[in-house]
């Protein structure tokens, strides 16, 4: 049976890239009735320094973001990673399976560690092995993510394959990255060659899930574009990264396609298209941020939801760890 797993880091602000690349698609998958497990990956967040009070708040706010985006904690399993110790247990085993050469190829480590990799934490380096554990401790088969996480899911497959090969078993499945839709790589509003990211120092580069209507409209009005009118088909977006990005965002927010959007707006100037995009973005995002703010007034309820989710997650993860230990030869009773 197919089983979906995905995770989001509770660090910094949730933004439109997280929503379109992840949350919105999770809600869509839930509607299709797939068994889904979603995790606030707090252990991943602390691979770089997090202020403890901010981390606590970000974890709850992220949970609120999931629920406000339509993920129902009764239908899906929603929890934070540190409450399910099996993730860290399997991660250690995978630290012993993954090869240094594989880790050295990870582009996210290179981006995050920057020039002075000697100063990066050991956890940041081992990050992808923990991510493999997140997925495989549930024997998940499908991993919906944005384009930037593809390499990590491929590494997860390499780890599963090597574990299975080394121990002569077929215990771990080969999970597949699911990267589909018009907005698997939402770009910065200031620079069409950089992805929208919580770590971009310019707040104008991204739309945060908690931005109010005026802020959203102002950011879209100021978004970088080129001077030409919108083309009438997708081919006309080649070499126009900023135009492509805004059209992708429109298509994803309206559950439409790039072709359909260009069919409607082809030939129009950005001065006409941008107000339509603002209207659509505010229309879709405002109810989510309102609901998030509402949920955040009752953090005790959020904590209870995460606690129940963690208990359900452990029911799946505990037997997997027991069997893994047996396969590896770790003595237990
Ligand atoms: P994170 O927290 O950086 O991002 C969460 C999700 O949002 C997607 N995303 C984007 N999608 C489109 N355009 C963008 N600009 C954009 N920015 C972010 C990400 O691809 C991701 O799907 N390593 C993961 C978290 C993780 C995880 C896992 C994911 C930990 N364990 C297991 C899946 C399965 C991360 O840092 O995502």
Domain extent for 265 = 203-293
* Residue 74 belongs to a domain: yes
The CA 21 to ligand 1 mean position distance, Å, reads 8
Pair 258, 140 in one domain? no
Catalytic residue positions, numbered: 112, 195, 198
Confidence at residue 204, expressed as pLDDT on a 0 to 100 scale? 97
Pair 240, 304 in one domain? no
Confidence at residue 90, expressed as pLDDT on a 0 to 100 scale? 98
pLDDT above 80 (res 333) = no
Buried/exposed 140-156: b ≥16 CB within 10 Å, e otherwise: bbbbbbbebbeebbebb
CB neighbourhood size of 1 (10 A): 6
Pair 23, 51 in one domain? yes
Domain count, the chain: 2
Pair 231, 305 in one domain? no
Instruction: Say yes or no: CB of residue 18 within 6 Å of ligand 1.
Output: yes
> Atom 18 in ligand 1: which residue has the minimum CA distance?
18
Longest dimension (CA), the chain: 70
Residue 226, SS3 per DSSP: coil
Is 11 annotated as ligand-binding? yes
Confidence at residue 190, expressed as pLDDT on a 0 to 100 scale? 97
* Residue 196 belongs to a domain: no
Instruction: Say yes or no: CB of residue 231 within 6 Å of ligand 1.
Output: no
Mutate to test the pocket of ligand 1, among 4, 6, 7 (most ligand atoms within 8 A of CB): 7
Instruction: Say yes or no: CB of residue 149 within 6 Å of ligand 1.
Output: yes
- Domain containing residue 270: CATH number: 1.10.240.10
Q: Are 58 and 12 in contact (CB under 8 A)?
A: yes
Residue-wise pLDDT tens digits, 256-296: 999 999 999 999 999 999 999 999 999 999 999 999 999 99
Buried/exposed 232-270: b ≥16 CB within 10 Å, e otherwise: eeeebbeebbbbbbbbbbbbbbbeeebeebbeebeeeeb
Q: What is the pTM of this model?
A: 0.97
Confidence at residue 332, expressed as pLDDT on a 0 to 100 scale? 86
Give the pair of three-digit tokens for residue 314: 């452990």
* Residue 193 belongs to a domain: no
Instruction: Say yes or no: CB of residue 277 within 6 Å of ligand 1.
Output: no
* Residue 322 belongs to a domain: yes
């Amino acid at each position: 049976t197919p089983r979906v797993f995905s995770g989001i880091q509770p660090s910094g602000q949730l933004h439109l890239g997280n929503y379109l690349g992840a949350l919105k698609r999770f809600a869509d998958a839930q509607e299709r009735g797939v068994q889904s497990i979603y995790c606030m990956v707090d252990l991943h967040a602390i691979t770089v320094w997090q202020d403890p009070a901010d981390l606590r708040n970000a974890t709850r706010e992220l949970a609120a973001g999931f629920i406000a985006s339509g993920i129902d904690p009764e239908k899906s399993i929603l929890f934070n990673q540190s409450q399910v110790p099996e993730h860290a247990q399997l991660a250690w085993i995978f630290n012993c399976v993954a090869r240094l050469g594989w880790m050295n190829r990870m582009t996210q480590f290179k981006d995050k560690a920057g020039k002075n990799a000697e100063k990066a934490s050991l956890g940041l380096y081992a990050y992808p092995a923990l991510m493999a554990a997140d997925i495989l401790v549930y024997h998940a088969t499908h991993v919906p993510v944005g384009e930037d996480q593809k390499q990590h899911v491929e590494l997860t497959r390499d780890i599963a394959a090597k574990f299975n090969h080394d121990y002569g078993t077929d215990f771990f499945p080969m999970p597949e990255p699911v990267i589909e839709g018009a907005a698997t790589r939402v770009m910065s509003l200031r620079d069409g060659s950089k992805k929208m990211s919580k770590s971009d120092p310019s707040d104008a580069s991204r739309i945060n899930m908690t931005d109010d209507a005026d802020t959203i409209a102002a950011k879209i009005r100021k978004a970088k574009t080129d001077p030409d009118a919108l083309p009438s088909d997708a081919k006309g977006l080649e070499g126009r990264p900023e135009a492509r990005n805004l059209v992708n965002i429109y298509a994803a927010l309206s559950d439409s396609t790039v072709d359909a959007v260009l069919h409607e707006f082809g030939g129009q100037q950005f001065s006409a298209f941008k107000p339509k995009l603002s209207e659509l973005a505010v229309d879709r995002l405002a109810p989510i941020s309102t609901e998030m703010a509402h949920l955040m007034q009752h953090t005790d309820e959020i904590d209870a939801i995460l606690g129940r989710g963690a208990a359900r997650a452990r029911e799946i993860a505990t037997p997997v760890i027991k069997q893994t230990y047996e396969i590896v030869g770790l003595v237990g009773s």
